[in-house]
């Protein structure tokens, strides 16, 4: 019969294995999300409209995750507004703004601007909810804004395209909207909206279902805006250029749908469940680094030393801001599977394992 010490050792070994696999999955998720912009930009430059690329990503991801949507169909009745908010903001809004920004500014810059979202959440908490924020949170916000000024080189009169910067900021604002909404989906709530012995408590929304329905709702919303029937489908039948190398358009689309969307979200969700939202959130910050490196190698988008240093400061500020946000908001902003880039990350069925959404 096993002794208590042997059982404890086995349990510790299981925890270690879970954390190791969770860390590996978080890295896979960050790499997958980080590749979305690098795969999408050649299609945009080859002639596809940014909104059409966004629609193809959302519709393709929704189709792949359709079995999950059916499995979690009860969410449609339990948390309809959370699903609508995720679909419109984290999927349609973030990705549409992000991919459109890519047509005007470098991938790394667009993604770093998205990482202002945790700092913007603090502004929401302080000035809209009128809740106090810590000194560390304020420092994180200042660092994020200061680092961004280096990324866009404000002293040079904003050499980067102004509209592109505004679009990337729009993606960050959409992420903030989802972070706020996810406050309501990451915790249990009373089904009738009132507390009491007779109230029925609904469990936290399962992140797998939220992601599946978010992609479905986002695709439907984008259908109205993007009008995909006007898509130049011939672009997918010919080659696009990756810094001089020819890659078939269909290969890029398959990568965006299967790797940068479906696999990225799913591995991100599982990683949060095996680690914790804060730890997974730290790993998720690597997404911006990965995207910048991939854009440098595959697209020839070189950032200056000052911009790279500024990007590091942005990530540091975003990390401090996220860790210092009041608990309800921190849970909402913990990684779902991919920040910020373009999507959200989810945790397990408890509030402490909430989702951190990344909508790249």
- Residue 254 is predicted with a pLDDT of 97
Place of tokens 């916000």: 141
- Residue 337 is predicted with a pLDDT of 38
Residue 355 has pLDDT above 70, yes or no: no
Q: What is the widest separation between alpha-carbon atoms in the chain?
A: 74
Kindly state the percentage of the chain with pLDDT values over 70.
76
Angle at 266 between CA 40 and CA 26, to 5 degrees: 85
Closest CA to 325 of 36, 179, 122: 122
Angle at 121 between CA 61 and CA 205, to 5 degrees: 45
Beta-carbon count within 10 A of 58 CB: 29
3-state helix, strand, coil in the chain (%, to 5): 70, 5, 25
The highest-confidence range among 217-226, 242-251, 269-278, by mean pLDDT, is 217-226
Residue 326 pLDDT grade (very low, low, confident, very high; cuts 50, 70, 90): low
pLDDT digits (tens, 9 = 90+) for 300-312: 988 888 888 988 9
Strands 189-190 and 245-248: unpaired
The CA distance from 341 to 31, in Å, is 11
Tokens of 17: 């294995």
Residue 356 pLDDT grade (very low, low, confident, very high; cuts 50, 70, 90): very low
pLDDT digits (tens, 9 = 90+) for 56-104: 999 999 999 999 999 999 999 988 988 999 999 989 999 999 999 999 9
**Which residues, including other chains, have CB under 8 Å from residue 202's CB and lie 6 or more apart?**
78, 79, 188, 189, 190, 191
The CA distance from 310 to 154, in Å, is 12
Least confident of 32-41, 92-101, 240-249: 240-249
Residue 14 pLDDT grade (very low, low, confident, very high; cuts 50, 70, 90): low
State mean pLDDT over 347-353.
Answer: 31
Q: How far from 189 is each of 65, 201, 205, 350, CA to CA, in Å?
A: 26, 6, 10, 12
Q: How far from 22 is each of 207, 261, 273, 283, CA to CA, in Å?
A: 16, 18, 8, 11
Q: How far from 113 is each of 16, 61, 94, 147, 173, CA to CA, in Å?
A: 35, 24, 12, 10, 10
Mean pLDDT, rounded, of the chain: 80
pLDDT digits (tens, 9 = 90+) for 132-173: 878 887 888 888 888 888 887 766 655 678 899 999 999 999
- Residue 314 is predicted with a pLDDT of 86
**Concatenated DSSP letters of 287-354:** HHHHHHHHIIIII--PPPHHHHHHHHHHHHHHHHHHHHS-HHHHHHHS-BSSSTTTB-B---SSGGG-
Kindly state the percentage of the chain with pLDDT values over 90.
38
The CA distance from 119 to 105, in Å, is 22
Helix pair 286-294, 277-284: axis angle to 10 deg: 20
Report the Cα–Cα distance between both ends of the chain, in Å, rounded: 51
Let me know: does 180 contact 357? Beta carbons within 8 Å.
no
- Residue 237 is predicted with a pLDDT of 94
197: region left, alpha or beta (phi > 0 left; psi from -120 to 50 alpha) = alpha
Let me know: does 342 contact 267? Beta carbons within 8 Å.
no
Its pTM surpasses 0.85: no
């Amino acid at each position: 019969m096993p002794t208590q010490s042997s059982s404890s050792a086995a349990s510790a070994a299981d925890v270690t294995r879970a954390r190791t696999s969770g860390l590996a999955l978080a890295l896979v998720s960050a790499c997958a999300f980080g590749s979305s912009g690098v795969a999408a930009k050649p299609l945009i430059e080859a002639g596809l409209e940014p909104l059409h690329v966004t629609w193809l990503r959302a519709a393709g991801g929704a189709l792949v995750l359709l079995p999950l949507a059916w499995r979690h169909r009860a969410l449609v009745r339990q948390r309809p507004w959370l699903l609508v908010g995720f679909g419109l903001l984290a999927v349609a809004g973030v990705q549409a703004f992000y991919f459109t920004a890519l047509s005007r500014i470098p991938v790394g810059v667009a993604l770093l601007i998205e990482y202002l979202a945790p700092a913007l959440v603090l502004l929401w908490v302080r000035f809209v909810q009128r809740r106090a924020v810590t000194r560390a949170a304020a420092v994180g916000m200042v660092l994020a804004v200061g680092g961004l000024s280096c990324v866009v080189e404000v002293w040079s009169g904003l050499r980067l395209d102004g509209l592109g910067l505004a679009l990337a900021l729009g993606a960050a604002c959409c992420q903030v909207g989802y972070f706020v909404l996810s406050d309501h989906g990451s915790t249990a709530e009373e089904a009738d909206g009132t507390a009491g012995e007779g109230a029925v408590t609904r469990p936290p929304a399962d992140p797998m279902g939220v992601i599946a329905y978010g992609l479905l709702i986002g695709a439907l919303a984008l259908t109205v805006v993007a009008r995909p029937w006007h898509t130049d489908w011939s672009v997918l039948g010919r080659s696009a250029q990756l810094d001089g190398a020819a890659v078939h358009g269909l290969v890029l689309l398959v990568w965006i749908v299967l790797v940068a969307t479906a696999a990225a979200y799913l591995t991100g969700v599982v990683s949060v469940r095996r680690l914790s939202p804060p730890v997974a959130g730290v790993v998720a910050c690597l997404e911006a680094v990965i995207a910048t490196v991939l854009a440098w190698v595959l697209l020839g988008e070189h950032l200056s030393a000052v911009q790279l240093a500024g990007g590091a400061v942005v990530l540091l500020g975003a990390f401090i801001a996220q860790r210092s946000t009041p608990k309800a908001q921190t849970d909402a902003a913990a990684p779902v599977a991919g920040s910020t880039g373009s999507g959200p990350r989810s945790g397990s069925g408890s509030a402490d394992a909430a989702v951190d959404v990344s909508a790249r």
